[in-house]
Amino acid sequence: MRVLRHACVTVAATVLAAGLAACGSDGTTGTKAAGDAVAGAAAGLDPRAALAASAVVMQRAGNGSLALTAEAGPMAGTAEWQQRTVVDVAAKTESGTRARIIGDEVYLGGGLQTTAVLGGKHWARIEPKDPVVGSMSVMFLTVAQLTNPVLQLSAAAQGGKLTKVGAEAVGGVQTTHYRAVEEVAKLADSLSALGGDQRAAVRQTLDTGGSTLTVDFWINDKQELVQLREYGDKGGESSAVTVTYSGLGAAPKIEAPAAGDVGKGADFAKVFRS
């Protein structure tokens, strides 16, 4: 990732090179040693270096479980972020809406009503340009990108205005709290894994929150990202999205729904017309 390469200048080049070279492996002893070296080298670093080192550790982990809180309600699930952003979450609300984002593809599902509308199928692929539910596609694309810890840490390390807030406990875990204020335009430029239409739609969504994004990071003594919180300058903290990470490296692989179990977005839209 381009932003990660730029962020690397803030940490000893040999340590980061070792960590990045190991990112594509399958969890061998060499990979673990590289990650441990990054974590150890990060002790006492300034905020920019600490975030860059954490990006390497999270890249090495590659996946994990997520718990999200936002204005629209809580969601929980798993994610992968090594080669591309892949997220599988379900809303912890009465609607039971499920979302599976595979790169720039968005699949939505839900309860019995949705399955009935889709003729017994459980998923529908939703395009950002859909006139009825396209906004949901864009929302979930945006959420997926903003939950990618490597993207977030790297973008902040590269171009954010950083401060160290101090030591805090999150869920009983001792962490160091950092804060980044970033330009939305620069963050949007880092979404190179998305197609042109999807990237433009996500950028438009980010712009509605203001020209800057404040992102708080809570990082433990292993340089693992435990939690992040983000909000735009227009909505302020009342509009914040919080993501808590756990089970790093232990999440099951997320696959796209089987083609025979995927209905049409136009049919899925009937749920909202009824």
Neighbours of 95 (CB within 10 A): 15
| pLDDT reading at 19 higher than 60 | no
More confident residue, 113 or 51: 51
| pLDDT reading at 37 higher than 60 | no
Task: Find out whether 198 and 188 touch, Cβ atoms under 8 Å.
Answer: no
Strands (E), the chain: 63-69, 75-80, 86-91, 98-102, 105-109, 123-126, 161-170, 173-183, 212-219, 225-232, 241-246, 262-263
Under DSSP, is residue 231 helix (H, G, I), strand (E, B) or coil?
strand
Task: Find out whether 87 and 101 touch, Cβ atoms under 8 Å.
Answer: yes
pLDDT value at residue 76: 95
Q: How high is the mean pLDDT of the chain?
A: 81
pLDDT value at residue 194: 72
Neighbours of 90 (CB within 10 A): 17
pLDDT value at residue 220: 97
What's the CA gap between 37 and 30, in Å, rounded? 10
What's the CA gap between 129 and 102, in Å, rounded? 17
The reported pTM is 0.81
Tokens of 108: 């939505």
pLDDT value at residue 16: 33
Burial of 181 (0-12, 13-18, 19+ CB in 10 A): middle
Under DSSP, is residue 69 helix (H, G, I), strand (E, B) or coil?
strand
230-271 pLDDT, tens digit each: 999 888 888 899 999 999 999 999 999 999 999 988 888 877
For residue 179, the Cα-to-chain-centroid distance in whole angstroms is 17
Summarize the confidence of residues 95-115 as an average pLDDT. Answer: 86
What's the CA gap between 155 and 136, in Å, rounded? 25
Summarize the confidence of residues 46-56 as an average pLDDT. Answer: 95
Task: Find out whether 54 and 223 touch, Cβ atoms under 8 Å.
Answer: yes
| pLDDT reading at 225 higher than 50 | yes
What's the CA gap between 73 and 131, in Å, rounded? 23
pLDDT value at residue 156: 93
